[in-house]
Amino acid sequence: MLSDLFILIQLEPGPPAVFGHGAVYNARVDLAWKLPCEPNGKIIDYEIEYGGVATSQRKRVVVGGEKESLKVTGLDMLTSYAFQIRARNSIRYGSPKAFVVKTKGPAGQ
């Protein structure tokens, strides 16, 4: 007698459902995101990369899978920054989601 055989194929997660900024300051951007619509398993962590649009230098931060926000500090005033996030499950990182935002200038200007 043959029994049924089930094969489970787990895929990488989709991009976070939402990724954007809350407050934007002269040297800080507050990021926020939501769990991917298709996590395809438990999200282990999120990788956030960012850097000035006019430069090729990028910084990378990894935060736990339970996180949904990050305050990025130490930014330059009046500079456009590209931010990218991708989620990782037990298989690998999924597709990224990205946006660009410009930091503010000195207070009172």
User: Average pLDDT in the 77-87 region?
Assistant: 98
**pLDDT the model gives residue 4:** 73
Whether residue 13 lies inside any domain: the answer is no
pLDDT of residue 107: 75
Q: Label residue 106 exposed, middle or buried (CB < 10 Å: 0-12, 13-18, 19+).
A: exposed
CATH code of the domain covering residue 70: 2.60.40.10
Whether 41 is in a domain gets the answer: yes
Q: What pLDDT is attached to residue 8?
A: 64
d(CA 109, CA 104): 9
Structural domain contains residue 60? yes
* Domain coverage including residue 26: 19-102
Residue 65 lies inside a defined structural domain of this protein: yes
32-43: average pLDDT: 96
Between the alpha carbon of residue 107 and those of residues 25, 27, 57, 84, the distances in Å are: 9, 11, 27, 27
Q: Is position 61 within any domain?
A: yes
Say what the pTM is. 0.88
| Contact call for residues 21 and 95 (beta carbons, < 8 A) | no
Inside any domain, residue 23: yes
Provide DSSP, 29-73: EEEEE--BS---S---EEEEEEEETTS---EEEEEETT--EEEEE
108 has a pLDDT exceeding 70: no
Q: How far apart are CA 44 and CA 36, in angstroms?
A: 12
Residue 68 lies in a domain: yes
Within a domain: residue 52?
yes
What's the total number of domains in the chain? Answer: 1
Average pLDDT for 33-57: 96
Confidence band for 10, pLDDT divided at 50, 70 and 90: confident
